[in-house]
A and B are shown apart, each in its own frame.
Chain A
Amino acid sequence: MPVEITMPALSPTMAEGNLAKWLVKEGDRINPGDVIAEIETDKATMEVEAVDEGTLAKILVPAGTLGIKVNTVIALLTEEGEDIKKITDIKSATSSIFVSDQAETKGIVLPEMPVAAPVFTPPPRSTKDTRVFASPLARRLAIQKGVDVGSLYGTGPHGRVIKRDVETDIKTADATLKRSGDDQLLQFFTQGEYEIIPHNSMRKTIAKRLVESKQTVPHFYVMVDCELDALLKLRSRLNKATHSALMGVSQTDENSIIVPKLSVNDMIIKAVALALKMVPGANVSWLEDGLARHAHSDIGVAVSINNGLITPIIRHADEKSLKTISSEMKELASRARQMKLRPEEYQGGTVSISNMGMFGVKAFSAIINPPQAIIFAIGAGEERVVAKNGVPNIATMMTVMISVDHRAVDGALAAELARTFKGLIENPLAILA
């Protein structure tokens, strides 16, 4: 019997995914642990490793297929000594069950009917119970493309889904937006002077989530200026100390080894985590029936990646040392840029940080990432003239804008969080604890 390779669930919530790429071809010898394919979810590309050894007999789901349900058989593996050619005629277990089903209910025993593998799997039922009107060609193309035909916006007679609807792949929900929108918008531009870059699944997710956030979450904003000089001084001392410790006293050439350094961002992550611990009323999520109060500070940090962004999460940042946060962050950011994050590494999180300080941005307001209630928007640290006790002083200042979900957190509480955060940044020894 051939071994079935199924669509893996890459996270507990994953229901379906896209088969981005096959890294092996039919006839290839496969050992356990070999990376055989890449699966794309809405946020990440994951590698699928082989569990069994054998020869890849047949790829059942071609690369580029979208929306493959978890546990769907995607390929067949022959074990030692099995004839690959026989696999091509493998009958589907489901189809033989299907055939005998009716007879059994009537108490008639029919000999099992030998059936060959169906060329096309039956179309998946729409999530809705209502009848879907679609042309046979549209149904078939939808299956080939891995699209639920019931989710498509039909432009045929009486809204019937036809071939071109599968090709344009406009979902019912955003059909009004796109259909009337795109044509009308494009008329403002000269034809030939623009190109259309189709949205990838990450872009679509970002768009959907942010529209949802801005439309359903009542944002308000609290801005606070923090003096950074003490934090910068501490950082410099910590980095030097780490360096010496790593080098040992005998080492003289300081530049021979690159030592990972703490970044201001690492310290901000810790400060946010501790501030939330100290103002627990702000570490919450708005639910329909209540407020979820989080026990720990799981901090999502926005990482800009090619044509999108992702927020890997530092779990329990309130309990982690700066060093741990720093090395975790470096590792997560690096894998995020390669689209190699696992879903549990970017899903969840109680509060987010978006830092544009490195781009020299003075201040900005960020959009909350529901169901979180808070996001910190970090501006650049810059020297400013600050009045202190009636005397102008030069200080390195950083403006932080906190976006708050007013359903979950009121103004006074947000102000308390802002003051606590500012206090930690300006008295940074506390974050070493």
Chain B
Amino acid sequence: MYDVILVGAGPGGYATAIRAAQLGFKTAIVEREHLGGICLNWGCIPTKALLRSAEIKCFLEHAKDYGLQLDGSINVDIQAVVARSREVSARLNSGIHFLMKKNKIDIIWGEARVIRGAVDDKPAQIIVRKSEKLAVEILAEGVYEARHVIVATGARPRILSGVEPDGKLVWTYFEAIAPEAIPKSLVIVGSGAIGVEFASFYRDMGSVVTLIELQPQIMSSEDAEISIFARKQFERRGIRILTSARIQKIEKTAQSIIAHIYHDGKGQIIHAECLISAVGVQGNVENIGLESLGVAVDSGCIITDVWSRTNIPGIYAIGDVAGAPMLAHKAEKEGVICIEKIANLSTAHPLDKGRIPGCTYCTPQVASVGLTEEKAKNAGYDIRVGRYSFATNGKAIALGQDQGFVKTIFDRNSGQLLGAHMIGAEVTELIQGFVIAMNLETTEEELIHSIFPHPTLSETMKESILDAYDMVLNA
């Protein structure tokens, strides 16, 4: 019998398993396909590898801007680009194998089904069956017991009716991440992180990209100003964007699709080689025994309390399957908090969802944490807003990446940093400064006292804070 069984070895599951082992729990993790989950194998990590190839391609194309002469042409070998991306995933995947072994965590290969919660001093029970997805047959079938079963089954692409993926012409991220060739033209439905990252990648790789968004702004969860700026940048690069647009249906020919879009009060038709559906993800709540056990589920996600407990004793849920925001770093933290609470550590604190940063790796990058200006106002805050452009930042100009800005939002009354929104070069690496500030509950005063090294992109953060208090220096 185990103390803890994790169902799913994604970024939430495997990190939680390691923390459980550190806390002295006898721990096992059930996985049906690959360690690291979508994030590591089909999501966050391999897309970063692809985007890096695209970025280097762009640099090379602009070598002249930096005084460099390049003889010959730059050709994309998409197989090699994808192969590199797969290698990056494979390397990290084997890293998790090592981590499981190092922490003495048993890996149970197969599909888990929870069959009993922890009742009357009896532990929770799961049954593991052979997974159809496993290439290598490893016998791990059987019944396993644990005092605590943590469901971390993640999420999968949401399917839009009429736009069902077929693996050939209608893609999800699974196909988009490992293309055999770069399509000449492409329709991407959905402008969340997945949609805009693929739009960015395929545009850089030479595709004609049309981005379709149902909401009036792209990246609808981001601050409106950031969204507008991003849109301009994308459009300048030749990405066609239709917002408040609905995909009505698609027709397929042998080698292409015809997308029927309703936009601006009228229908229009877009011909493209293929379509990527990126309309969000939904929790993997099916076929894991939740219904028969009576685990409460709402809108495709397991309902949990602040400590990730479900309504059934001994059964917990973390990560995407436990609801938004569906982000790897949220899953990891949620899982660690869950297991630390099980260990009854006094240092365990419930997750504050208001302080989870979000990063999108399109060009230019977008990163944010906390409230948007609109949400801050709606929440009743009297706010001070600061803005600072990359166009006046020395490092950004030297890099040749001076497009972007930083926006900070403070509560006028208390000086609390309510939100930070950034677009520009490497902002996904910069946002953490604001995340720490928020977590430590600094006010504008401590931020203003902090010294930001010169010359760095991070000086845009400082100037944005100063701007919020009418003290901006370099503008």
Does B bind A? yes
Of the listed stretches B165-173, B366-374, B438-446, chain A binds: B438-446
A141–B440 Cα gap in the complex (Å)?
14
Known contacts: A137-B416, A144-B414, A163-B416. The answer to whether A157 contacts B442 by CB under 8 A is no
Which residue of A137, A144, A156 contacts B442 across the interface (Cβ within 8 Å)? A137
A137 to B441, Cβ gap below 8 A? yes
Cβ–Cβ < 8 Å partners of A162 in chain B: 441
Q: Known: A135-B440, A135-B442, A163-B441. Contact between A140 and B349, CB under 8 A?
A: no
Indicate whether A137 sits within 8 Å of B414 (C-beta atoms), given known contacts A162-B441, A163-B441.
Answer: yes
Q: Are A157 and B347 in touch, CB under 8 angstroms?
A: yes
A-B pairs with beta carbons under 8 Å apart, 26 shown: A135-B440, A135-B442, A136-B440, A136-B441, A136-B442, A136-B443, A136-B445, A136-B446, A137-B414, A137-B415, A137-B416, A137-B443, A138-B441, A140-B415, A140-B443, A141-B414, A144-B413, A144-B414, A155-B349, A156-B349, A157-B347, A157-B349, A158-B347, A162-B441, A163-B416, A163-B441
Interface magnitude class on chain A? 10 to 19
Cβ contacts under 8 Å, A140 to chain B: 414-415, 443, 445
Which residues of the other chain, B, contact A137 by a CB distance below 8 angstroms?
414-416, 441-443
Contacts of A141 in B (CB 8 A): 414
Contacts of B441 in A (CB 8 A): 135-138, 162-163
Q: How far is the CB of B29 from chain A (nearest CB, A)?
A: 28
Distance between B252 CB and nearest chain A CB, rounded to angstroms? 53
Quote the shortest CB–CB distance from B353 to chain A (angstroms): 14
When chains A and B are docked, how far (Å) is the Cα of A135 from the Cα of B437?
Answer: 10
How many angstroms between the C-alpha atoms of A205 and B425 in the bound complex? 58
B352, closest chain A residue (CB): A164
Q: Digit string of A148-164 for contact with B (CB within 8 Å is 1, else 0)?
A: 00000001111000110
B471 to chain A, nearest CB (A): 13
Roughly how many angstroms separate A54 CA and B60 CA in the complex, as a whole number? Answer: 75
A-B pairs with lowest CB-CB distance, top 9: A135-B441, A137-B441, A136-B443, A136-B446, A136-B442, A137-B416, A137-B443, A163-B441, A140-B443
Interface string of B430-456 (1 = CB under 8 A from A): 000000000011110110000000000
Which residues in A have their C-beta under 8 angstroms from that of B443? 136-137, 140
Q: Which of A113-158 contact B (CB under 8 A)?
A: 135-138, 140-141, 144, 155-158
Q: Which residues of B contact A138 (CB under 8 A)?
A: 441
Q: Which of B347, B416, B442 has the most CB of A within 10 A?
A: B416
Most B CB contacts (10 A, CB to CB) among A135, A136, A156, A158 go to: A136
Tell me which residues from 43 to 62 in chain A have a Cβ below 8 Å from any Cβ of chain B.
none
A144 to B349, CA, bound (A): 26
Once the chains are docked, how many angstroms separate the CA of A138 from the CA of B442? Answer: 9
In the complex, the chain A residue whose C-beta lies closest to that of B416 is: A137
Interface residues of A (CB under 8 A from B): 135-138, 140-141, 144, 155-158, 162-163
Residue from the set B441, B442, B443 with the largest chain A CB neighbour count within 10 Å: B441
A137 to chain B: closest residue by CB: B441
Residues of A within 8 A of B413 (CB): 144
Least distance between A149 CB and chain B CB atoms (Å): 12
Residues of A within 8 A of B415 (CB): 137, 140
Minimal Cβ-Cβ distance residue in B for A158: B347
Question: Using Cβ atoms and an 8 Å threshold, which residues of chain A touch B414?
Answer: 137, 140-141, 144
Kindly list chain A residues whose C-beta atoms are within 8 Å of the C-beta of B416: 137, 163
When chains A and B are docked, how far (Å) is the Cα of A137 from the Cα of B415? 7
B317 to chain A, nearest CB (A): 22
Known: A136-B440, A136-B443. 17 other contacts (CB 8 A): A135-B441, A135-B442, A136-B445, A137-B414, A137-B415, A137-B441, A137-B443, A140-B414, A140-B415, A140-B443, A140-B445, A144-B413, A144-B414, A157-B349, A158-B347, A162-B441, A163-B416
Q: A155 to B445: give the CA distance in the assembly, Å.
A: 23
Contact partners of A135 in chain B: CB under 8 A: 440-442
Task: Look across to chain A and name the residue whose beta carbon is closest to the beta carbon of B447.
Answer: A136
Shortest beta-carbon distance from B413 to chain A in Å: 8
Q: Complex formed: what's the CA distance from A66 to B259 in Å?
A: 65
CA A156 to CA B438, docked complex, whole Å: 13
Which residues of B are found within 8 Å of A158, using beta-carbon distances? 347
A137 to B417: give the CA distance in the assembly, Å. 9
Q: How far is the CB of A67 from chain B (nearest CB, A)?
A: 18
Q: How far is the CA of A367 from the CA of B182 in the complex (A)?
A: 86
- C-alpha spacing A183/B278, complex, angstroms: 43
In chain B, positions 393-436 with a C-beta closer than 8 Å to chain A are 413-416
A155 surroundings in chain B (CB, below 8 A): 349
- Most chain-A CB neighbours within 10 Å: which of B347, B440, B446? B440
Contacts of A163 in B (CB 8 A): 416, 441
Distance of A141 Cα from B414 Cα, bound (Å): 6
**Bound: A138/B349 CA distance, A:** 17
A156 to chain B minimum Cβ distance, whole angstroms, is 8
Q: How far is the CA of A344 from the CA of B61 in the complex (A)?
A: 86
Nearest chain B CB to A184 CB, angstrom units: 16
CA distance A162 to B414 in the complex (A): 13
**Complex: how many Å from CA A138 to CA B416?**
10
In the assembled complex, the Cα of A137 lies from the Cα of B446 at a distance in Å of 10
Q: Choose among B442, B445, B446 the residue with the greatest number of A CB atoms under 10 Å from its CB.
A: B445
Closest Cβ of chain B to A242, distance in Å, is: 60
Q: Which residue of A lies closest to B445 (CB)?
A: A136
- Within 8 Å CB of B347, what residues of A? 157-158
Expressed in whole angstroms, the minimum distance between the Cβ of B449 and any Cβ of chain A is: 10
Q: How far is A140 from B415 in the complex, measured between Cα atoms in Å?
A: 8
A140 to B413: give the CA distance in the assembly, Å.
10
Give the Cβ gap from B264 to chain A, nearest Cβ, in Å: 45
Bound: A233/B441 CA distance, A? 72
Q: How far is the CB of B441 from chain A (nearest CB, A)?
A: 3
Chain B nearest CB from A395 CB (Å) reads 65
Shortest CB–CB separation between residue B183 and chain A, in angstroms? Answer: 50
Smallest distance from the beta carbon of A140 to chain B beta carbons, Å? 6
- The chain A residue with its CB closest to the CB of B449 is A136
Give chain A residues whose Cβ lies under 8 Å from the Cβ of B442: 135-137
User: What is the minimal beta-carbon distance from A154 to any residue of chain B, in angstroms?
Assistant: 12
Instruction: Compute how far the CA of A67 lies from the CA of B415 in the bound complex, rounded to whole angstroms.
Output: 22
Shortest Cβ distance from A162 into B: residue: B441
Question: How far in angstroms is the closest Cβ of chain B from A404?
Answer: 44
